[in-house]
């Protein structure tokens, strides 16, 4: 190995042993994998103890891997000998800049950019909702190395906090409040922002293990989320690739479906009902199914000729019908604004909590029929799923 690479790795080891390490960046990659751009390394506190989190930045995705201090030092040596031409080590004592040329290399020592270490310990209080310094927020690009929420991620951060506040409140107020081994499913988990936050919150604040499964159709998102979950030692969190409609998981305590596109929300709600979930939380997104079908009643024809009004009516009818269908299945429902519209246009939230008896199916059914006939609606996905399965008698525990 190049002598300067050895010295650079020795400085890394020293900074780790004296707790002066701040971060490390490898760049100017000339190796075989042309999609690899750079690697940033920072210290994180995981359930397994202190680790260095390597974030490999590729053209279109990030890959995350956690290594022990010793493994990390060996890995840096290897990476600097196999394609990375620049290394920048930041410690509270000095900055080190390594440049590797074709014939020789240069190691420069400079004044420290950072005189204090970013906080790494997950020293969390019992009741916190979300720790802005949590490593998954860094891995997902929401927060900076020193635990500050990035300027461009403030809306996402607000949304995550609001979501956890609502979900935690619902669980706290429900019969599953103290249930051991809480089972949660997130349908259409996407990049996993809300899934990680939910897992981290419940895993930290409950006395027993929890199991959370994210279901997502896009394999690259499933892979990256599984890597972050593994790197963070989130043993009860996993992501599976597939369609919501194909996913069967047995009984579930909480089902969430946030911004699952169009009728994917209906598939998710149906799965929640079939899995006998105590709590179902959905933030529906795009309401195309009914928009195509609506024939306005004569009284509204002059208003619903405007696209924007038709759009809003489709949204109101879709989410309204969904809530009535859930009521018919024994749930109490609430529809409300999740976060203000200036933060996201997709801001309706539908919450359904399982009731203990007192179910008036005929009342909900009558309201559904009236709405459908008034607006010329033939078919609504959730209703169809429920009636198909009612015929097959596969929803036995629910239909009272």
Ligand X SMILES: C[S@@+](CC[C@H](N)C(=O)[O-])C[C@H]1O[C@@H](n2cnc3c(N)ncnc32)[C@H](O)[C@@H]1O
Site residues for ligand X, 157-196, by CB under 6 A, read 188-190, 193-194
C-alpha count within 13 angstroms, C-beta hemisphere, residue 189? 31
CA distance 149 to 169: 24
Question: Which residue number, 221 or 252, has a Cβ lying nearer to ligand X?
Answer: 221
Question: Which residue number, 79 or 286, has a Cβ lying nearer to ligand X?
Answer: 286
Instruction: Check residue 217 for interaction with ligand X (CB under 6 A).
Output: yes
Instruction: Check residue 213 for interaction with ligand X (CB under 6 A).
Output: no
Shortest distance (Å) from residue 117 CB to ligand X: 31
Cβ proximity of 361 and 387 under 8 Å: no
Closest CA to 56 of 38, 42, 30: 38
Q: How many residues bind ligand X (CB under 6 A)?
A: 19
CA distance 279 to 97: 53
Question: Which residue number, 64 or 140, has a Cβ lying nearer to ligand X?
Answer: 140
Q: Where are the beta strands (DSSP E) in 68-203?
A: 84-91, 95-100, 105-110, 183-187
Instruction: Check residue 232 for interaction with ligand X (CB under 6 A).
Output: no
Burial class (CB in 10 A: 0-12, 13-18, 19+), 342: exposed
Shortest distance (Å) from residue 7 CB to ligand X: 44
Residue least distant from ligand X (Cβ): 190
Site residues for ligand X, 27-56, by CB under 6 A, read none
Question: Which residue number, 194 or 210, has a Cβ lying nearer to ligand X?
Answer: 194
Instruction: Check residue 218 for interaction with ligand X (CB under 6 A).
Output: yes
Question: Which residue number, 98 or 273, has a Cβ lying nearer to ligand X?
Answer: 273
Q: Which residues pair with 66 in a beta bridge?
A: 53
Question: Which residue number, 162 or 355, has a Cβ lying nearer to ligand X?
Answer: 162
Question: Which residue number, 89 or 264, has a Cβ lying nearer to ligand X?
Answer: 264
Instruction: Check residue 260 for interaction with ligand X (CB under 6 A).
Output: yes
Instruction: Check residue 271 for interaction with ligand X (CB under 6 A).
Output: no
Instruction: Check residue 258 for interaction with ligand X (CB under 6 A).
Output: yes
Residue with tokens 């019969």: 175
DSSP 151: G
* Contacts made by residues 47-53, CB under 8 angstroms, sequence distance 24+: 47/232, 47/233, 47/235, 48/233, 50/120, 51/231, 52/16, 53/135, 53/138, 53/139, 53/231
Instruction: Check residue 134 for interaction with ligand X (CB under 6 A).
Output: no
Instruction: Check residue 210 for interaction with ligand X (CB under 6 A).
Output: no
CA angle 217, 222, 227 (to 5 degrees): 180
Shortest distance (Å) from residue 164 CB to ligand X: 13
One of 131, 200, 216, 327 touching ligand X (CB under 6 A): 216
Shortest distance (Å) from residue 190 CB to ligand X: 2
Shortest distance (Å) from residue 51 CB to ligand X: 26
Question: Which residue number, 100 or 283, has a Cβ lying nearer to ligand X?
Answer: 283
Question: Which residue number, 80 or 260, has a Cβ lying nearer to ligand X?
Answer: 260
Span of 83-91, 111-119, 211-219, 304-312 interacting with ligand X by CB under 6 A = 211-219
For residue 312, give every residue at least 6 positions away whose Cβ sits within 8 Å of its Cβ, in sequence order, or none.
Answer: none
Residue with tokens 């900055």: 95
Site residues for ligand X, 280-309, by CB under 6 A, read 285
Closest CA to 109 of 15, 246, 250: 15
Burial class (CB in 10 A: 0-12, 13-18, 19+), 324: buried
Cβ proximity of 11 and 77 under 8 Å: no
Residues 97-110 as b/e (b if ≥16 CB within 10 A, e otherwise) read: ebebeeeebebeee
One of 24, 79, 215, 352 touching ligand X (CB under 6 A): 215
Instruction: Check residue 243 for interaction with ligand X (CB under 6 A).
Output: yes
One of 9, 134, 222, 264 touching ligand X (CB under 6 A): 264
Shortest distance (Å) from residue 273 CB to ligand X: 17
| Site residues, ligand X (CB under 6 A) | 188-190, 193-194, 215-218, 221, 243-244, 258-261, 264, 267, 285
């Amino acid at each position: 190995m190049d002598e300067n690479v050895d010295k650079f790795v020795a400085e890394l080891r020293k900074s780790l042993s004296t707790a002066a390490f701040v971060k490390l960046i490898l760049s100017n990659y000339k190796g075989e994998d042309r999609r690899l751009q750079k690697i940033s390394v920072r210290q994180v506190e995981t359930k397994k103890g202190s680790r260095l989190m390597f974030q490999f930045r590729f053209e279109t995705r990030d890959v995350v891997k956690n290594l022990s201090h010793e493994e990390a030092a060996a890995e840096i040596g290897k990476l600097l000998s196999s394609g990375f031409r620049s290394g920048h080590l930041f410690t509270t004592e000095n900055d080190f800049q390594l440049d590797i040329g074709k014939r020789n290399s240069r190691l420069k020592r400079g004044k420290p950019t950072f005189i204090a270490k970013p906080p790494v310990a997950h020293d969390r209080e019992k009741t916190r909702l979300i720790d802005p310094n949590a490593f998954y927020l860094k891995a997902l690009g929401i927060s900076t190395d020193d635990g500050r929420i990035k300027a461009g991620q403030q809306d996402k951060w607000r949304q995550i906090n609001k979501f956890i506040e609502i979900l935690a409140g619902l669980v706290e107020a429900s019969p599953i409040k103290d249930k051991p081994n809480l089972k949660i499913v997130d349908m259409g988990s996407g990049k996993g922002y809300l899934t990680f936050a939910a897992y981290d919150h419940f895993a930290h604040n409950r006395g027993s293990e929890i199991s959370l499964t994210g279901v997502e159709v896009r394999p690259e998102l499933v892979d990256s989320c599984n890597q972050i979950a593994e790197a963070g030692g989130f043993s009860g969190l996993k992501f599976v690739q597939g369609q919501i409609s194909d996913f069967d998981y047995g009984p579930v305590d909480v089902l969430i479906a946030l911004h699952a596109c169009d009728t994917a929300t209906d598939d998710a709600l149906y799965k929640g009902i079939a899995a006998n979930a105590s709590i179902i939380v959905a933030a529906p997104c795009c309401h195309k199914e009914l928009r195509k079908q609506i024939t306005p009643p004569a009284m509204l024809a002059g208003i619903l000729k405007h696209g924007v009004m038709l759009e809003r009516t489709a949204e109101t009818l879709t989410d309204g019908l969904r809530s009535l269908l859930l009521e018919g299945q024994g749930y109490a429902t609430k529809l409300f604004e999740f976060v203000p519209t200036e933060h996201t246009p997709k801001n309706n939230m539908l919450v359904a909590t399982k009731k203990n008896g007192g179910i008036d199916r005929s009342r909900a059914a009558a309201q559904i029929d009236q709405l459908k006939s008034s607006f010329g609606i033939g078919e609504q996905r959730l209703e169809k799923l429920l009636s198909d399965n009612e015929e097959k008698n596969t929803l036995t525990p629910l239909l009272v």
